[in-house]
């Protein structure tokens, strides 16, 4: 299975990054080809709600998203890891998701057919410093819409709270073990993992 991992943290060793690395350890214990994209390393402009270009590209804006479109739509499984910023997703993740507006429009117009009869598994890992459930709900709603737009089934999630400092998750053995098992399950069972 071709698994695409989207790293949403701006910190190289942030808590969501550590958690995603552990998830990928579990996934790699199965037959899995893993591709990683670090969103903070890409230049991603905000969506300008312009019409799709005539050139066959997804978007008129030529930036770091050009490769992301192809990678996401070609993946057989997808995992996103993100911290919570101001009660939802950080700019790196939200900008990437917003730029899939062109894919949503193409589907709406009937110009893009995705294999919804055999939905591909998608998983969401998220961390936050507080213990507020509503922040996770905000982020979950956006990720669910993104998965639905790109042909992925929202197959599971793992939310870890109370991670104030960079690297705090390293001492949270239950979160790390749940992430590892979720990675195994996502690939082994084809997407019915829930943390």
Class (C level, CATH) for 2-188:
alpha beta
Residue-wise pLDDT for 150-187, tens only, equals 999 999 999 999 998 999 999 999 999 999 999 999 98
Residue-wise pLDDT for 61-78, tens only, equals 999 999 999 999 899 999
Contact 81/126 with Cβ under 8 angstroms?
A: yes
Question: Of the given ranges (41-50, 63-72, 112-121), which has the lowest mean pLDDT?
Answer: 112-121
Look at residue 194 and tell me whether its pLDDT is greater than 50.
no
Average pLDDT, the chain: 90
Model pLDDT, residue 46: 95
Model pLDDT, residue 52: 67
Whole-structure pTM value: 0.91
């Amino acid at each position: 299975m071709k698994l695409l991992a989207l790293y949403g943290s701006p910190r190289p060793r942030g808590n969501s990054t550590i958690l995603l690395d552990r998830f990928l350890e579990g996934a790699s214990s199965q037959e899995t080809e893993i591709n990683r994209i670090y969103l903070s390393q890409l230049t991603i402009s905000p969506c300008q709600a312009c019409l799709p270009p005539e050139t066959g590209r997804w978007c008129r804006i030529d930036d770091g998203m050009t490769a992301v479109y192809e990678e996401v739509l070609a993946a057989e499984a997808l995992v996103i890891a993100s911290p919570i910023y101001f009660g939802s997703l950080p700019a790196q993740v939200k900008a990437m998701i917003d730029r899939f507006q062109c894919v949503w429009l193409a589907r709406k117009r009937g110009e893009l057919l995705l294999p919804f009869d055999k939905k591909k598994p998608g998983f969401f890992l998220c961390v936050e410093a507080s213990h507020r459930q509503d922040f996770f709900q905000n982020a979950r709603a956006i990720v669910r819409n993104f998965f639905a737009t790109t042909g992925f089934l929202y197959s599971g999630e793992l939310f870890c709270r109370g991670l104030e400092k960079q690297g705090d998750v390293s001492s949270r053995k239950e979160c790390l073990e749940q992430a590892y098992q979720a990675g195994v399950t996502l690939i082994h069972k084809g997407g019915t993992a829930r943390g």
